[in-house]
């Protein structure tokens, strides 16, 4: 059973590229969750790197769109992105240095962040970015 499921009703922003990227992120978090349960460190490391790279690319997409439309919530939104990326980069560094493990709790943390961020912070940009 997946850790999280994207639905248009709960997570749709009406910005097609962002919705597509969110769906991919949800799928990647689910894959990380399942792989963490198996404990395959090499596979976990690969998924972690892919997920972080994809999230960074997604944040850049959102931020570019916000800047193009002069979105009033840009600064606060970017701040949330920056904080998550800093947390993830530190985890990634520690994981690859052998100082930390990525577990199902790690995937749950990302899941919880997304379950808050997408409906409460991302969805409000939909009207501004589609106008």
92-101: pLDDT as tens digits: 999 999 999 9
Of 67, 66, 65, 58, whose CA–CA distance to 88 is shortest? Answer: 58
Tokens found for residue 61 = 């997409």
Question: Is 80 within 8 Å of 121 (Cβ atoms)?
Answer: yes
> Is the per-residue pLDDT at 131 higher than 90?
no
Summarize the confidence of residues 35-46 as an average pLDDT: 96
Query: 72-124, pLDDT tens digit by residue?
Result: 999 999 999 999 999 999 999 999 999 999 999 999 999 999 999 999 999 99
- N-to-C CA span, the chain: 37
**What's the whole-model pTM score?**
0.95
Dist. CA 56–CA 75, nearest whole Å: 16
Domains of the chain by residue range: 14-130
Three-state DSSP state, 54: helix
Summarize the confidence of residues 3-12 as an average pLDDT: 96
Question: Is 122 within 8 Å of 75 (Cβ atoms)?
Answer: no
Tokens found for residue 52 = 């972080």
> Is the per-residue pLDDT at 56 higher than 90?
yes
Name, in order, each residue with C-beta under 8 angstroms of 3's C-beta and a sequence gap of 6 or more: 29, 30, 33, 107, 108, 111
Question: Is 69 within 8 Å of 81 (Cβ atoms)?
Answer: no
Dist. CA 65–CA 6, nearest whole Å: 21
Q: What is the CATH number of domain 14-130?
A: 1.20.120.50
pLDDT for the residue 29: 97
């Amino acid at each position: 059973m997946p850790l999280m499921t994207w639905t248009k009703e709960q997570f749709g922003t009406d910005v097609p590229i962002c919705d597509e990227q969110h769906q991919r992120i949800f799928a990647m978090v689910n894959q990380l969750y399942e792989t963490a349960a198996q404990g395959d460190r090499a596979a976990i490391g690969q998924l972690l790197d892919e997920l972080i790279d994809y999230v960074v690319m997604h944040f850049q997409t959102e931020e570019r769109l916000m800047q193009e439309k002069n979105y009033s919530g840009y600064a606060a939104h970017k701040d949330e992105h920056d904080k998550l990326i800093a947390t993830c980069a530190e985890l990634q560094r520690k994981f690859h240095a052998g100082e930390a493990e990525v577990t199902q709790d790690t995937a749950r943390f990302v899941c919880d962040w997304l379950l808050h961020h997408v409906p409460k912070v991302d969805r409000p940009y939909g009207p501004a970015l589609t106008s």
